[in-house]
Amino acid sequence: MHPFSRNLLIPALTFIASVTGYVAWHALTREKSSALPEDTALQIGEPQRARLVFAGDLMQHMPQVRAARRPDGTFDYSETFRYVKPIFEEADFAMLNFETTLTPTSRYTGYPMFRSPAQLADALHDIGMDAVVMANNHICDNGRAGIGYMTARFDSLRIAHTGAFIDSTRYRMNHPLRFEVKGIRFALLNYTYDTNGVPIPEGTIVNLIDTTVIQNDLKGIDRSETDCIIVFFHWGDEYVRKPNNTQRMLAELCHRYGTEIVMGSHPHVIQPFEAGYDTDSTIRSVTVYSLGNFVSNQRDRYKDGGLIVTLDIEKRNGQISICPYYTPVWVSMPNYRILPPSVADTLPLPSGQRENYLQFIQDTRTLLDNDRIFREK
């Protein structure tokens, strides 16, 4: 078990240039199609509905960087995200775990210290990503400059972010990250178990898991102004397909303090779901212990794919209900294309990859269909 710790809040620092003109994310809106209709005049008692979409670990090992490089030295990730773009475009709000750092230089590196091309963030904007969580064990791989450059890049693209902050002013602005979708008000918290032993740079803040802090953060959320709380953890044991006792304890703590949605990343494999039911079998809360890899160069069994989780949220008479779905996604070579079954089942795959894909799908459905909580989408 990793020891729980958390850096002390640092006194407010002067805004860096990227903060100037910062747009408050609780007012964030994006032009995107929605799979759910939006009524122009909601009446009392009429439900409000929003679709949230979550993806797992977005990583950038050096073979991925080389695959995206073009002859002119730029980087193009459109082929990677081509077949999952429609899923995110149908979301009202989409987020993932951004498990690398960005650099404006050409000194790109993969494991164990990730530094990736800035065009990766541009690609997320192009597919309709609304937010990234950044509290993970690789957030400090490029130091304070990396955190500052990443947050500035995401700001320029109007992609919201939380979990790691260039200074205490940004911490107060984006922790929790508040956003409203179709009349439903959300608060998003993000924490990580560690930063791989890399010191958190002076002046920056990274949310580390601390049960006392988490309790206080949850108690500090005004429920008269918040309909749904999301906590996104970077936790668990790598490559283990079951949650450990610490994950279960943290999820239970969050739900006890009113959290509706708990998401997990870091194991790089898929882990099971749990749901909290009302007396009429309505789902009021969900936990996804690990979404697995969204895209990476990890090719071993269980590690070569992950989940996109869709949650259709309904607010009726002040109460939240959740209709959950999952879509398995598998990463094909050599272009690191993220493939849902609707594409992979018929798309020609290079020799030997079809067997790996079918094994991943079988493993995933065997693990998740036993729960009968989420339906495959």
pLDDT above 90 (res 334): yes
300, burial (CB in 10 Å: exposed 0-12, middle 13-18, buried 19+): exposed
- Whole-angstrom distance, CA of residue 264 vs CA of residue 237: 11
Number of domains forming the structure of the chain: 1
Per the structure, the complete domain to which residue 225 belongs is given by 49-376
CATH code, domain carrying 73:
3.60.21.10
Does 334 reside within a domain? Answer: yes
Does 349 reside within a domain? Answer: yes
Q: What is the mean pLDDT of the chain?
A: 91
Does 241 reside within a domain? Answer: yes
Does 37 reside within a domain? Answer: no
Q: What is the pLDDT of residue 47?
A: 95
pLDDT above 60 (res 281): yes
Does 202 reside within a domain? Answer: yes
Does 3 reside within a domain? Answer: no
E-strand ranges in 152-227 read 160-162, 164-165, 177-181, 184-192, 205-206
Q: What is the pLDDT of residue 277?
A: 94
Does 193 reside within a domain? Answer: yes
- Whole-angstrom distance, CA of residue 83 vs CA of residue 97: 19
pLDDT (tens digit per residue) in 96-123:
999 999 999 899 999 999 999 999 999 9
pLDDT (tens digit per residue) in 218-229:
999 999 999 999
pLDDT above 90 (res 279): no
Interval 356-371 mean pLDDT: 92
E-strand ranges in 123-209 read 131-133, 160-162, 164-165, 177-181, 184-192, 205-206
pLDDT (tens digit per residue) in 151-209:
999 999 999 999 999 999 999 999 999 999 999 999 999 999 999 999 999 999 999 99
Does 29 reside within a domain? Answer: no
Interval 329-352 mean pLDDT: 96
Q: What is the pLDDT of residue 28?
A: 57
Structure tokens at 265: 């990343």
